[in-house]
Amino acid sequence: MRRVVVTGMGAVSAIGANVGEFAEALRQGRSGIGPIEAISTDRLTVKIAAEVKGFDPKAHFTSDKLAMLDRFAQLALVAAREAMADSALTIDEDLAPRCACIIGSGGSGLITLEEGYRRLYEEGKHRVPPFTVPKYMNNSATSQVTMEFGLKGPAFSVSSACATATHSIGLGFHMVRSGMADVAVVGGADALITMGHIKAWEALRVVAKDTCRPFCKDRSGMVLAEGAAVFVLETLESAQKRGATIHAEMAGFGMTADAGDLLSPSVDGASRAVRMALADGGLAPEDIAYVNAHGTGTVANDATETKCLHEVFGDHAHKLMISATKSFHGHSLGASGAVELVATILALRDGLIAPTLNFTEPDPECDLDYVPNVARQVTVDAGISNSFAFGGLNAVLALRRFVG
């Protein structure tokens, strides 16, 4: 099987308009969680989120193009542009049919749908804008990225709740490794800060009203977010031949289903996914130094993930450095795994170990090293990124630091 490396990264999140700003926020411990500005909060109990502030669509797209783009696709395209520019990859007529594209989304064009419903039911109008369907389609971001860059290989969209982006990236990785594709442009995007969506999450009672404090005794839930991250994956041989900058090596991918409860996480399902990722990458538990945790800040998820790490890593679990970067950029649902992979790659490439922000009193059930509040500078040779979704769908990526 072919070795696969990351040669391009792009990100748009609550803590930065690009990867450089994202990295600096992690280094400084600057969170993007704050009062909601995009919509009125008069009828909301939850009044905070991690929004992409200052994003001006007109600075990136023409008016004709914007008519076809929901906000989640806008974010995906901007992240893809950064990733493609970072990779310096030339897509010619020979390579185009060998380029896969998988951009996942958990909620896709929910802003477009909600606006359409508002026009129909609140304003009493008899029609919605003509491009409503192509704007809200789950595959809209994937299709827009393929068209912008001329990617003519396998292309589709994945939707698996909070594991969406990690599934998307893992599938693209396996496509390149197996030879189904030579390049994969992969990631996730979501933009779901709407009245109806936040009201739905309020009903579940898992959303914090102040901030996200994963693994703490006084944690009170997750914080909703928006964002996107996209990566360019290609073979090591191709990257070296063209002199590309290599950010990290993709090592392994594991995915499982709990086949249990729709909302309650399973230690068994999560543990099997981690073990599969390690086995797929030829890594022993002792090889892993860093974990980017799913770490939502909910009572059940954080305790379950800690038990998972104990089960898989044994005594070595206490030597792991664990970041819950949702304390920075919130939970962007279908984009989260991609945004968190940026942090994982920064740990491997730059030795930047992001802290878990807002850390207060440790929870006795969460007894590992969560890198509380202050970033570290440590050389890391291998790490994993966890995504454990509602519906019991688990996905884990394992990566190695690339040494040329």
Same domain, yes or no: 296 and 212:
no
DSSP, res 363:
P
CA–CA gap between residue 65 and residue 59 (Å, rounded):
12
Task: Tell me, yes or no, whether 283 and 149 share the same domain.
Answer: no
In a domain, 32, yes or no: yes
Residue type for position 223: V
- Two tokens, residue 175: 């496509």
Do residues 301 and 294 make contact, with C-beta atoms less than 8 angstroms apart?
A: yes
CA dist 14 and 226 (Å) reads 7
Q: Are residues 145 and 205 in the same domain?
A: yes
Looking at the predicted structure, is the pLDDT value of residue 299 above 90?
A: yes
Has residue 96 been placed in a domain? yes
- 246 in a domain, yes or no? no
303, 340: one domain: yes
Both 25 and 170 in one domain: the answer is yes
Residue 182 sits in the same domain as residue 255: no
Which tokens belong to 57?
């669509």
Residues 222, 266 within the same domain: no
Catalytic position from the list 162, 212, 216, 308: 162
Q: How far apart are CA 363 and CA 158, in angstroms?
A: 34
Q: Note whether 276 and 205 are same-domain residues.
A: no
Can you spell out the DSSP letters for 312-326? Answer: HHGGGGGG-EEE-TH
pLDDT, position 404? 80
Q: Which of 294, 308, 329, 366 is catalytic?
A: 294
Residue 369 falls inside a structural domain: yes
- Residue 166: is its pLDDT beyond 90? yes
Which is it for strands 99-104 and 183-190: parallel, antiparallel or unpaired?
parallel
The pair of three-digit structure tokens given for residue 199, joined into one six-digit string: 């009201």
**Could you tell me which of 280, 281, 367 has the C-alpha nearest to residue 322?**
367
Q: What is the pLDDT of residue 248?
A: 98
Same domain, 154 and 283: no
- Asked, for residue 361, whether it belongs to a domain, the answer is yes
Number of domains in the chain: 2
* Residue finishing a domain among 210, 241, 272: 241
Distance of CA 334 to the CA centre of its chain: 7
**DSSP three-state, residue 67:** coil
Known active-site residue 310:
no
Estimate the crossing angle of helix 110-117 against helix 195-204, to 10 degrees.
Answer: 110
3-state secondary structure of 49: strand
Provide the b/e sequence for 266-302 (b: ≥16 CB within 10 Å).
bbbbbbbbbbbbbebbebebebbbbbbbbbbbbeebb
The pLDDT > 90 percentage for the chain reads 99
Query: DSSP character for 13?
Result: B
Give the per-residue SS3 of 224-275: EECEEEEEEEEEHHHHHHCCCCCCEEEEEEEEEECCCCCCCCCHHHHHHHHH
CB-based burial of residue 201 (10 Å sphere; 0-12 exposed, 13-18 middle, 19+ buried)?
Answer: middle
Whether 66 has a pLDDT exceeding 90, the answer reads yes
Spatial contact of 104 and 158, defined as CB atoms under 8 Å apart:
yes
201 and 323 assigned to the same domain: no
The parent domain of residue 85 ranges over 4-241
Query: Is 294 a known active-site residue?
Result: yes
Q: What's the longest Cα–Cα distance across the chain?
A: 63
Q: Are residues 255 and 232 in the same domain?
A: no
* pLDDT score at 48: 98
167 is catalytic: no
Structure tokens given for 188 = 């996730």
Q: Out of 196, 221, 241, pick the residue that ends a domain.
A: 241
Q: Residue 383: which of 353, 338, 348 has the closest Cα?
A: 348
CATH code: domain of residue 322: 3.40.47.10
Give the other-Cβ count within 10 Å of 2's Cβ.
13
Residue pLDDT, tens place only, 196-248: 999 999 999 999 999 999 999 999 999 999 999 999 999 999 999 999 999 99
pLDDT at 1 over 90: no
- Mean pLDDT across 176-190: 98
- Whether pLDDT at 355 is above 90: yes
The catalytic residue among 167, 174, 329, 331 is 331
Q: How far apart are CA 37 and CA 29, in angstroms?
A: 22
d(CA 299, CA 216): 9
| Domain boundary residue, one of 186, 211, 241 | 241
Residue 223 inside a domain? The answer is yes
Q: Are 302 and 191 in the same domain?
A: no
